[in-house]
A and B are shown apart, each in its own frame.
Chain A
């Protein structure tokens, strides 16, 4: 018997944004984002609601192509296409960070085409030095000021501290959900968790917290695991904002036990330090604690192996913690940050002895057949 909460999640996953539209009608300001680097706490502290914009692999990109080149990351293109088609017309604004060329170089295109009342660019540094934090703290203050101008109210340190606390609660609860995957077989499937996290990213943080609590309770009550024992897979990659890849894995008798994707642990787990200067803490979380290829980490070791450990050690940690039998490195065509790292990541997975399947994909339901073939062959190989 399906739990009520999972039926609720399914409904909001499929009809993504219905709650956001309700909130907008009640006068709330929804601020959209497409990348883990957007500091959400500042949006919450300003009294607005952060909303993660998604693409749709079943929607052929049409209107978007009249304004945006096809060499842009296909996920970003899809988000843009849906946006110009009005799917997210309840948004009052968007924030785009210095994530990658695809979003930075199309900033004016987004800004002028959507013509929302609020649009802002957060210039996240590329490197992690003391001077980078100094710069980023100023940049975050600029971002805060822009939201103050937009909302007409000051954002105090107390507001920020409260928002940080709420978002950290969300991260703790997400962690608790991930912990359900440690057992063999996991008590929550990759597909289920992905849907829960996705829906969570469309709600105000307080509602997301409440939803996660419900899910934690429901899963705790489970007597039977949702999947049979099979190969345990870690999914590594950028914004994977739909369940299709995980569904193929789990329909084939394996389970997705861990991930290092944007809509997964990259968004959901790193905590912001509490108790000190909130801007400093946010700068630290959003520059250093998030681990994304776009952030250049100095090779302090002087060797490739040392460098790889510094850059990819979090993947190894997850692989060990969740006892991964194999991994899928899923990269979009036209993705520079991940694309350039494929050889180094491959070498790293070899060094931690985790078999790897590297897939380069478009962002379209049309490739599902090809994905199935590759993934099934990989699972047979490691199974």
Chain B
């Protein structure tokens, strides 16, 4: 409870690009409030990573990213009152705290007939419609808006079902992805029809095609830009990536997003030429191997930095992959292409995983990052309210340790000195995405300290 009263320490960014994000997000939210008041654009609550931005932007709909708003409340350490509001309605604190924050806020706003007092950055305006997704990834994304709709029954919902085939040991995903594709295409076309009805506009497919092409190019640019972080010292870390995820997830299919990454790309190349790292004396390179960040404690990344640890790579919010490595079926239809891109992204690591005994796509991805980015240790964050991104992390580390042992060490057995190989050290942090009552700075810093000591002792005792 005491943590809520402390003002959040602003995280120091490594790049100027990341530093520019805060005001951008503030403008999204304030801009949405203005747009609602002006009434010129339709406003839709929606979720990131649905491959539908192109459709929304082609029909001039302003998306309001409810997960982002909850994250902002978390970062400002002003989510507790909304979480409590949700609890008072009967919702359990063990549920996704993004959703609790959103539902609590919606109910409060609707009951009062106005924004709750001192709403962060102006608050969430009531939407014209809501686009949720029953995709296989996350239950709250199908249940959240349905729960909010109880308090605003005049706001319609379109729920896009977006499945992808799970990794099966005895089945190639290409054997089934034909009928997956057919279904996803129908769901997306259904979305187009819904938004046309809500806006009274007709889809301009040429414009859609342009936007899809733009986002494709942006995906590839993002991948190439992040690949620059392989440099030693690493010019940009996960802390900054938690800012730069904004143009990936909230601004996709806009020229602004593409330009942002052009600038970031240039900035990173400059830093690499000057050998400027995220950390002045880089001693340890860490992989953020899973888990959404604790939005109220991003300054912990600076704490890692202060101990000489940089984060060249992360899996979190890395929601793009290079299209030129995907081998997707060709199509001129933009919606069909979106559906292939969806499937291509989620099955990206399947082929590689099959080639290594005991591997599995998420584990294979970890190994790929470890090797390509010269990683010394893996950090995971378990956020208690999110099963979507946090169930499976323990198993991934376990399996990684089982099948991948890259650190050479000497051991003395029965007086004889032998060389053997060990798994990477790992650290599991625990708190939540926005519920700060779950977080203890003292505990977290203590764990980080112990991990740094571990990394140091491995560094000193490596057999190479």
Interface residues of A (CB under 8 A from B): 66-69, 71-72, 98, 100-102, 104-109, 111-113, 119-121, 123, 125-127, 129, 131-132, 134-135, 138-139, 142, 146, 149, 293-294, 296, 298-299, 302-304, 307, 331, 333-337, 339-344, 346-347, 358, 360
B387 x A336 contact (CB < 8 A):
yes
Interface string of B163-176 (1 = CB under 8 A from A): 10111111100011
A360 x B168 contact (CB < 8 A):
no
Nearest chain A CB to B193 CB, angstrom units: 12
Nearest chain B CB to A108 CB, angstrom units: 5
B149 x A299 contact (CB < 8 A):
yes
B182 x A135 contact (CB < 8 A):
yes
Nearest chain B CB to A327 CB, angstrom units: 14
B390 x A71 contact (CB < 8 A):
yes
* Given A67-B398, A123-B163, A139 contacting B179 (CB threshold 8 A): yes
A126 x B134 contact (CB < 8 A):
yes
B393 x A336 contact (CB < 8 A):
no
* Given A106-B391, A108-B395, A299-B157, A339 contacting B384 (CB threshold 8 A): no
* Given A340-B146, A342-B90, A108 contacting B391 (CB threshold 8 A): no
Q: Which of B90, B142, B395 contacts A126, CB < 8 Å?
A: B142
Q: Complex: how many Å from CA A337 to CA B96? A: 11
B179 x A138 contact (CB < 8 A):
yes
* Given A108-B167, A340-B144, A342-B92, A123 contacting B395 (CB threshold 8 A): no
A123 x B90 contact (CB < 8 A):
no
Binds A, one of B183-191, B213-221, B247-255: B183-191
Q: Which of B143, B167, B171 gathers the greatest number of chain A CB atoms within 10 Å?
A: B143
B147 x A340 contact (CB < 8 A):
yes
Nearest chain B CB to A38 CB, angstrom units: 15
Q: Which of B146, B149, B176, B358 gathers the greatest number of chain A CB atoms within 10 Å?
A: B146
Q: Complex: how many Å from CA A358 to CA B92? A: 11
B163 x A337 contact (CB < 8 A):
no
Given A104-B166, A339-B92, 13 other A-B contacts at CB below 8 A? A67-B398, A69-B390, A101-B387, A101-B391, A104-B136, A108-B167, A111-B169, A126-B142, A127-B159, A134-B183, A294-B139, A299-B146, A343-B147
Nearest chain B CB to A338 CB, angstrom units: 9
A-chain residues with CB within 8 Å of residue B395 when the two chains form the complex: 67-68, 106, 108-109, 112-113
Q: Complex: how many Å from CA A121 to CA B395? A: 18
Q: Closest A residue to B402 by CB, please name it.
A: A112
A336 x B147 contact (CB < 8 A):
no
A108 x B362 contact (CB < 8 A):
yes
Q: Indicate whether B113 reaches chain A with its CB closer than 8 angstroms.
A: no
* Given A131-B187, A135-B183, A120 contacting B168 (CB threshold 8 A): yes
13 contacts between A and B (CB under 8 A): A68-B391, A71-B384, A71-B387, A102-B387, A108-B392, A111-B169, A126-B142, A126-B159, A135-B183, A149-B170, A294-B142, A331-B92, A337-B139
Q: Closest A residue to B432 by CB, please name it.
A: A71
B166 x A107 contact (CB < 8 A):
yes
Q: Complex: how many Å from CA A343 to CA B150? A: 9
A135 x B180 contact (CB < 8 A):
yes
A-chain residues with CB within 8 Å of residue B388 when the two chains form the complex: 101, 105
Nearest chain A CB to B198 CB, angstrom units: 13
Interface string of B146-159 (1 = CB under 8 A from A): 11011001101101
B150 x A344 contact (CB < 8 A):
yes
Shortest beta-carbon contacts, A-B, top 6: A126-B134, A340-B143, A135-B183, A336-B139, A138-B179, A105-B391
Q: Complex: how many Å from CA A378 to CA B157? A: 36
A-chain residues with CB within 8 Å of residue B136 when the two chains form the complex: 98, 104, 123, 126
Q: Indicate whether B412 reaches chain A with its CB closer than 8 angstroms.
A: no
Q: Complex: how many Å from CA A109 to CA B187? A: 30
Q: Which of A139, A296, A340 contacts B95, CB < 8 Å?
A: A340
Q: Complex: how many Å from CA A40 to CA B315? A: 37
A-chain residues with CB within 8 Å of residue B176 when the two chains form the complex: 138-139, 142
Q: Complex: how many Å from CA A334 to CA B382? A: 14
Q: Indicate whether B366 reaches chain A with its CB closer than 8 angstroms.
A: no
Q: Which of B165, B190, B360 contacts A112, CB < 8 Å?
A: B360
B182 x A134 contact (CB < 8 A):
yes
Q: Indicate whether B280 reaches chain A with its CB closer than 8 angstroms.
A: no
Q: Closest A residue to B89 by CB, please name it.
A: A343
A112 x B143 contact (CB < 8 A):
no
A101 x B138 contact (CB < 8 A):
yes
Q: Closest B residue to A105 by CB, please name it.
A: B391
B153 x A307 contact (CB < 8 A):
yes
Nearest chain B CB to A180 CB, angstrom units: 33
A339 x B91 contact (CB < 8 A):
yes
Q: Complex: how many Å from CA A293 to CA B139? A: 10
* Given A134-B182, A341-B143, A343-B147, A121 contacting B166 (CB threshold 8 A): yes
Q: Closest A residue to B133 by CB, please name it.
A: A126
A340 x B140 contact (CB < 8 A):
yes
Q: Closest B residue to A301 by CB, please name it.
A: B153
Which residues in window 349-406 of B have CB below 8 A to A?
A: 358, 360, 362, 382, 384-388, 390-395, 398-399
B-chain residues with CB within 8 Å of residue A121 when the two chains form the complex: 166, 168
Q: Complex: how many Å from CA A336 to CA B386? A: 10
Q: Complex: how many Å from CA A353 to CA B393? A: 44
Q: Indicate whether B99 reaches chain A with its CB closer than 8 angstroms.
A: yes
B-chain residues with CB within 8 Å of residue A112 when the two chains form the complex: 358, 360, 395, 399
Q: Indicate whether B135 reaches chain A with its CB closer than 8 angstroms.
A: yes
Q: Indicate whether B331 reaches chain A with its CB closer than 8 angstroms.
A: no
A304 x B183 contact (CB < 8 A):
no
A346 x B90 contact (CB < 8 A):
yes
A-chain residues with CB within 8 Å of residue B144 when the two chains form the complex: 340
Nearest chain B CB to A67 CB, angstrom units: 5
B-chain residues with CB within 8 Å of residue A146 when the two chains form the complex: 168, 170-171
A-chain residues with CB within 8 Å of residue B394 when the two chains form the complex: 66-69
B140 x A336 contact (CB < 8 A):
yes
B149 x A304 contact (CB < 8 A):
yes
A132 x B183 contact (CB < 8 A):
yes
A336 x B95 contact (CB < 8 A):
yes
Q: Which of A123, A127, A344 contacts B166, CB < 8 Å?
A: A123
Interface string of B30-55 (1 = CB under 8 A from A): 00000000000000000000000000
Q: Complex: how many Å from CA A344 to CA B151? A: 10
Q: Indicate whether B161 reaches chain A with its CB closer than 8 angstroms.
A: yes
